[in-house]
Amino acid sequence: MNDDAQFAREQIKLKRELAALATEGNLAGDPTNGGALKALTREECGGTCERYAWTQDEREICVLIDCEASATSRDVRVEVTSSRLVVVVCGTTILDGELTRRVVADECLWEMERTGEGRKRITITLIKQKKTYAKFHWPSVCVGEPTVDVEKFGHPVVGVNNQDAHAMEAMMDDVRGMRREASARS
């Protein structure tokens, strides 16, 4: 096999591997593995605070709150606007503040379910107004809450068909928007 054919096969293999990783979302360079691509989990992109834990992907933030098994939906108050979140459980304020970035309030929801430990868990799903990747993810749910170091995720890796000028421009617009929004919060 000549060098050109070998190179072409390697390129096809790399494109397939990248496509497989891209379907998992949240691609970033892994500093512990020489910068090799890694699909970040929702949990890696979020954090754990004293009163709640949270996860995120490109489009959603999920806030997870554990509470007593005796709690009912009547004991829970969740108010979501495009820029603010208030969560009160059994009279205790869990979150009350300005969201790190804007959400689509009409698409956000919450649910309560039993866990295996004889407790209940409240899951609040916030739909991001603008998707985010890697170091442009939200560093916290609300301003003033504990943050995660999103810089460690590195630059976003976004798969796009380089033969499609519209797709390339849309991807570049997304990244430019993420940069503007992230720098506005700094």
- Dmax over CA atoms of the chain, in Å, equals 72
Predicted confidence (pLDDT) per residue in 87-142, tens digit: 999 999 999 999 999 999 999 999 999 998 889 999 999 999 998 888 889 999 99
Q: Which pLDDT does position 118 carry in this prediction?
A: 85
Q: Is the pLDDT of residue 23 over 60?
A: no
Q: Is the pLDDT of residue 79 over 90?
A: yes
What is the pLDDT confidence band of residue 155, given thresholds at 50, 70 and 90?
A: confident
In the chain, what percentage of residues exceed pLDDT 90?
49
Second-level CATH architecture of 41-186: Sandwich (2.60)
Q: List all residues 6 or more positions away from 39 whose beta carbon is below 8 Å from its beta carbon.
A: 21, 24, 25, 26, 27
Q: Are 137 and 128 in contact (CB under 8 A)?
A: no
Q: Which pLDDT does position 141 carry in this prediction?
A: 97
Q: Which pLDDT does position 1 carry in this prediction?
A: 62
Q: Are 79 and 85 in contact (CB under 8 A)?
A: yes
Greater pLDDT, 166 or 71: 71
What's this model's pTM, rounded to 2 decimal places? 0.78
Mean pLDDT on 42-70: 94
Our CA dihedral for 93, 99, 100, 102, rounded to 10 degrees, sits at 160
Where along the chain do its domains lie?
41-186
Strands of 92-98's sheet, edge to edge? 76-80, 84-89, 92-98
Say how far apart CA 146 and CA 112 lie, in whole Å.
24
DSSP 167: H
